[in-house]
Amino acid sequence: MNTLSLFRPEILAMSAYHVADASNFIKLDAMENPYGWPEDIQQDWLEHLKNCPMNRYPDPEAKDLCKALRQSNALPEQSSLMLGNGSDEIIQILMMALPNSATVLAPEPGFVMYKQVAQSLGLRYQGVPLLANSFDLDMPAMLEAIRTLQPSLIFLAYPNNPTGNLFDTQAIKDILATSPGLVVVDEAYSPFADASFIDELPNYQNLLVMRTVSKLGLAGLRLGYLTGNPSILEQLNKVRLPYNINCLTQITASFALQNQHFLLAQTETICQQRSLVLTALQALPGITAYSSAANFILFKLLIKSADDVFASLKKQGILIKNLSHQGGMLSNSLRVTIGKPEENQAFLKALTIALTDQL
Ligand SMILES: *Cc1c(COP(=O)(O)O)cnc(C)c1O
């Protein structure tokens, strides 16, 4: 039996999402919050976990958690809410509900999962290049692609990963107004950005806002959520597996949201560190660092090879993300996640060494 012939050609053509082994590194590669939980909060949390009935299936609607999320995100009353095992799962649910003939569209460079999931489901995926240098939406190109391809689904990461910028608000509104399909504004980095489309939900029937607790500091939980038009979410909810949010996640996320102050203090520190790191990067010769509304900074090597600098950083015990193999606007580019102050200092020191070849 030829087992490979069992699989769809698009699966055979894909490569699995690769995650680097980070053991023994200062880990600045995955947009995680570097801080753990304060001791007293941890104790309190463990007490809460005792109430988790592990023998029972979790609440399929996660009612308590939904209530906490509605409150902490100030969601409009008329918008529905659907939870996912990370926003990655929500991306998958959205696409599983579409016909095979559907087109998914997203600006590029963008979050790789949009393309990865579309390909794995055999949907047509179309990337539209951002404007070089500014990384703004190329509106003539976007509107033309929308007109000719009539995409069922458009993803706009706001702020964008891996470029870190917020797209122009009016441009997004124009896309919402012209798009025949759904437009997902992916606000994964909302804890670090002073901007959101949540207040616009009542104004656009095709707008969905997606968020996650991962970048806030709960990446290990796997919890994302999607909010918008109830008639759309009603259909998506049929595709969602009933127990996709386990009871440990439900209890822990509710608890964390009730104690949000410590997470908000952490993200505040990360934002302060972000400006320090950006200033330091912009002062280094031979690189261009882009300002960011997220918890990472993209930078391009102008003289040295990004592969060499990445390898030198690794040798010095620092793991960041090498994006140069993605080519195009990301050629010779690296992305660093903002860590603790001492981690950021170690990164900047190691980068200076890498750039001056002292190693
Ligand atoms: C990290 C990230 C996500 C995925 O978040 P999870 O909830 O951890 O699956 C979604 N969108 C963007 C743009 C991201 O950078």
pLDDT in tens, 291-333: 999 999 999 999 999 999 999 999 999 999 999 999 999 999 9
Query: How far out from the chain centre does Cα 346 lie?
Result: 25
- Give the separation between CA 132 and CA 151, rounded to whole angstroms: 24
- What are 296's strand-pairing partners? 337
CA nearest to 142, candidates 158, 152, 132, 154: 154
Residue pointed to by tokens 């012209």? 178
Q: State if residue 87 touches ligand 1 by the CB under 6 angstroms criterion.
A: yes
Name the one residue in this structure whose structure tokens are 């964390």: 256
pLDDT of amino acid 18 = 81
Q: Is the pLDDT of residue 357 over 80?
A: no
Output the pLDDT for position 16: 85
Q: What are the structural domains of the chain? A: 3-38+262-354 (3.90.1150.10), 55-258 (3.40.640.10)
Length in residues, the chain: 359
CA–CA distance, 266 with 281 (Å, rounded to integer): 22
Question: What pLDDT does 358 receive?
Answer: 55
- For strands 182-186 and 207-212, give the pairing: parallel
Q: How much is the pLDDT for 192?
A: 98
The mean of the pLDDT values for the chain is 96
Joined tokens for residue 80: 């529905």
Residues near 276 by Cβ (< 8 Å), separated by ≥ 6? 344
**pLDDT digits over 264-277, tens only?**
999 999 999 999 99
Q: Is the pLDDT of residue 343 over 60?
A: yes
- Over residues 27-43, the pLDDT tens digits come to 999 999 999 999 999 99
Separation of 159 CA from ligand 1 center, angstroms?
Answer: 11
Contacts 24+ apart (CB under 8 A), 138-146: 138/107, 139/171, 139/174, 142/107, 142/171, 142/175, 143/174, 143/175, 143/178, 145/105, 146/105, 146/175, 146/178, 146/179, 146/180
Question: Dihedral (C-alpha) 340, 342, 347, 349: value to the nearest 10 degrees?
Answer: 160
pLDDT digits (tens, 9 = 90+) for 241-264: 999 999 999 999 999 999 999 999
Ligand 1 pocket, mutate which of 31, 114, 161 (most atoms under 8 A from CB)? 161
Packing angle between helix 341-356 and helix 260-283, nearest 10 degrees?
A: 20
Q: Is 150 left (phi over 0), alpha (psi -120 to 50) or beta?
A: left
Please tell me if the CB atom of residue 214 comes closer than 6 angstroms to any atom of ligand 1: yes
What percent of the chain is predicted at pLDDT more than 90? 93
Rg (CA), the chain: 21
SS3 annotation, 66-110: HHHHHHHCCCCCCCEEEEECCHHHHHHHHHHCCCCCCEEEEEECC
Helix (H) or strand (E) holding 266: helix 260-283
Distance 208 CA to ligand 1 centre (A): 15
Which pLDDT band, with edges at 50, 70 and 90, does 172 fall under? very high
What is the share, in percent, of the chain residues with pLDDT greater than 70?
A: 99
Distance CA 286, CA 105 (A): 34
* CA-nearest residue, atom 1 of ligand 1: 188
Question: In this model, does residue 129 exceed pLDDT 60?
Answer: yes
Gap from CA of 286 to ligand 1 centroid (Å): 30
Q: Is the dihedral of CA 338, 24, 249, 91 positive or negative?
A: positive
First-to-last alpha carbon distance for the chain, in angstroms, is: 53
Burial code of 287-310, b = ≥16 C-beta within 10 A, e = fewer? Answer: bebbebbbbbbbbbbeebebeebb
